């Protein structure tokens, strides 16, 4: 169906809580447009790939049964052939030896987009590459999950190193902060998941050792100062005289 640009009366972007695809009843995330007949379509402009959308916030466009299925995560009722038999679950993620040689690795995150009023919508699911690709390449799954990835630095100094106001070495903490900020353009509040900015850092043990050594050094200095401040007794002409040995 061809719709000229002059007949497009509204365009916008939805984060997944406004429309479902009419043919699948699955949530839709992405650009949309509305024609002069008040029909919503997917895409920023109209082309052969545009599909009809239903506005779940309008009682005139979505029946109550459909609305209840959506709100209550009725995946099998909505489209059992498209939705996987089980929801995606977190994977056990740990860097490889090669990752440490490279100094970084890629982390993959999925966030449920459906059921915005349900606690599940606040979850972040860290997965392996194969699940990330499965979601990224499926328009149907992308209506259920938002995928994103970020670089996670593993080695190097803790903080950026500068010389003459030029960064000459990227720090683990500062780099990971930048990676999270970039990923949050696609998945908001991702920093709530990545709270340990030196997670998997090979230098963690050396940092602990440095802290122990620093504490021991401080204790040694304090002990030395105490010893130095203890007065010594000297005998001058048969008379005892107290004097600090630090003078």
Listing DSSP states for the chain in one string gives: ----GGGEEEEEEEEEEEEEETTT--EEEEEEEEETTS-EEESSS--TT--EEEETT-TTTS-HHHHHHHHTT-HHHH-TTTS-SS----------HHHHHHTEEEEEEEEE-S-TTSGGGG--EEE-HHHHHHHHT-HHHHTTEEEEEEEEE-SS-SS-EEETTEEEE--HHHHHHHHHHHHTTTSTTGGGT---TTTT-TTHHHHHHHHHHHHHHHHHHHHHHHHHHSEEEEEETTEEEEEETT-
Digitized pLDDT (tens) for each residue of the chain, 247 residues in all: 678 877 888 877 776 667 888 876 677 777 788 888 889 888 878 888 888 888 876 544 444 444 444 444 334 334 444 444 447 888 999 999 999 999 999 999 999 876 443 444 458 999 999 999 999 888 888 888 899 999 999 999 999 999 999 999 999 999 999 999 999 998 999 999 999 999 999 764 444 545 555 556 556 555 555 555 555 444 444 444 334 333 3
Identify the pLDDT of residue 140.
Answer: 83
Check residue 65 and give its pLDDT. 47
* pLDDT at res. 75: 40
């Amino acid at each position: 169906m061809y719709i000229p640009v002059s007949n497009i009366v509204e365009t916008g972007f939805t984060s997944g809580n406004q429309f479902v695809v009419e043919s699948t009843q699955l949530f839709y995330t992405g650009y949309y447009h509305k024609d002069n007949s008040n029909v919503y379509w997917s895409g920023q402009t109209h082309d052969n790939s545009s599909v009809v959308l239903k506005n779940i916030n309008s009682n005139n466009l979505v029946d109550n049964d459909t609305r209840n299925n959506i709100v209550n995560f009725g995946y099998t009722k909505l489209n059992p052939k498209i939705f996987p038999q089980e929801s995606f679950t977190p994977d056990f993620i740990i860097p490889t030896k090669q990752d440490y040689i490279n100094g970084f690795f890629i982390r993959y995150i999925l966030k449920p987009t459906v059921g915005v009023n349900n606690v599940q919508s606040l979850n972040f699911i860290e997965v392996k590459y194969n699940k990330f690709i499965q979601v990224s390449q499926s328009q149907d799954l992308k209506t259920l999950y938002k995928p994103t990835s970020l670089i996670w630095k593993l080695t190097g100094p803790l903080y950026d190193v500068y010389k003459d106001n030029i960064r000459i070495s990227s720090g683990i903490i500062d780099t990971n902060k930048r990676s999270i900020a970039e990923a949050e353009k696609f998945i908001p509040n991702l920093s709530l998941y990545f709270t340990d900015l030196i997670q998997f850092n090979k230098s963690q043990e050396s940092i602990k050792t440095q802290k122990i050594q620093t504490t021991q050094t401080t204790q040694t200095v304090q002990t030395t100062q105490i010893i130095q401040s203890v007065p010594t007794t000297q005998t001058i002409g048969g008379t005892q005289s107290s004097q600090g040995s630090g003078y």
